[in-house]
Amino acid sequence: MTPTEIVEHFIDAWNQMDWDRVMSLMSEDVVYHNIPMEKLEGKAAAEAFIRGMQADAVDWVTLNIAANGNVVLTERLDKFKMSSGKDVAVPVMGTFEIRDQKIIAWRDYFDLNTFVSQMA
């Protein structure tokens, strides 16, 4: 698979809420950073965060995707139906670095206030 295909499979796994498949696409030493939040290092830390989100539904809409070698950039609208009943939609710019068919670094850039205000 190309780096772009790996990221597209990753996004599809999120939309299916297939957390096992999401995790299978990340390296053991992945670095996951939601830029306004604390950086997470390692697959176990990323998995704990992802599985702890408590979303009832996920719909990541890819607006644009581009690759340069092993780096894939995404412009997305990440939509979540939270278990609290809240609907959240956040514009996100994502950067994924791929090595040996796995995501080794994942950085999402978004406005935390946009997320928090929708959760209120």
Active site residues: 78, 108
Residues 6+ apart with CB under 8 A from 118: 86, 87, 88, 89, 90
- Residue that the structure tokens 């996004």 belong to: 11
CB neighbours of residue 11 within 10 Å: 21
